[in-house]
A and B are shown apart, each in its own frame.
Chain A
Amino acid sequence: KAGVTQTPRYLIKTRGQQVTLSCSPISGHRSVSWYQQTPGQGLQFLFEYFSETQRNKGNFPGRFSGRQFSNSRSEMNVSTLELGDSALYLCASSPASGGINTGELFFGEGSRLTVL
């Protein structure tokens, strides 16, 4: 079974641009969650989607948004990029309907974003 796939793996943007990251969960997993990891703040929860609906959200500004498609693939978008958005963005899928609440999390390798 293929694992969680994130694309692109690396990207460089400039301040003010926007970026879209993609996450394909393990087949059959309907919960997808997103995380930001930086050296200063560590891992932080962005949001979780289940069956195309955002179920939970962390404490990030509205510039960070996401969506989930009917095939459970998910995208996250960051608009008006700031230098502080440079980070490793990770997604995880879960086989449980409870997602982060009840299920094991399977992480992708991440998308490393650099904002210049």
Chain B
Amino acid sequence: KNEVEQSPQNLTAQEGEFITINCSYSVGISALHWLQQHPGGGIVSLFMLSSGKKKHGRLIATINIQEKHSSLHITASHPRDSAVYICAVVTGTASKLTFGTGTRLQVTL
């Protein structure tokens, strides 16, 4: 079992829909990152969380440390949101990043 599990693996939505991507992890963490990767490889950092909730534009990220779970929400989705969304957790006393396998999102008109 992977330390970091994301669901769903693939997601197709129509423009305007509310989208939720989930990330569960099995170890204690000090921080969690949400990343976005577009075709071609470029990666953009969306959020870094250690507790609570953060909002940036149409994106909202939450984390529940006790339940070892984080969610990324996209409100009013748009085709330009089509990308792979990756969560990564920081673990260990000698901190290292462990990545989920990603959620591929396709938003259609």
Contact = CB atoms under 8 A, between A and B. Distances in A.
A56 B96 contact: yes
A49 B1 CA distance: 29
Interface string A27-44: 000000101010000111
A101 B90 contact: yes
B95 A100 contact: yes
Interface stretch (B10-18, B36-44, B68-76): B36-44
Nearest to B50: A102
A102 to B, nearest CB: 7
A110 interface: yes
Interface string B41-77: 1111100101000000000000000000000000000
12 contacts: A56-B94, A56-B96, A58-B96, A58-B97, A88-B41, A92-B45, A100-B31, A100-B96, A100-B97, A105-B45, A107-B44, A112-B41
Nearest to B102: A42
Contacts of A92: 43, 45
B30 interface: yes
Given A101-B90, A105-B45, A109-B42, A45 B31 contact: no
A57 interface: yes
Interface of A: 33, 35, 37, 42-45, 48, 55-58, 88, 90, 92, 99-107, 109-110, 112
B86 A43 contact: yes
Contacts of B41: 37, 88, 90, 109-110, 112
B45 A106 contact: yes
Nearest to B43: A107
B42 A107 contact: yes
A107 B95 contact: no
B103 to A, nearest CB: 12
Contact of A101 (B31, B43, B45, B102): B31
A44 B102 CA distance: 12
B75 to A, nearest CB: 22
Contacts of B106: none
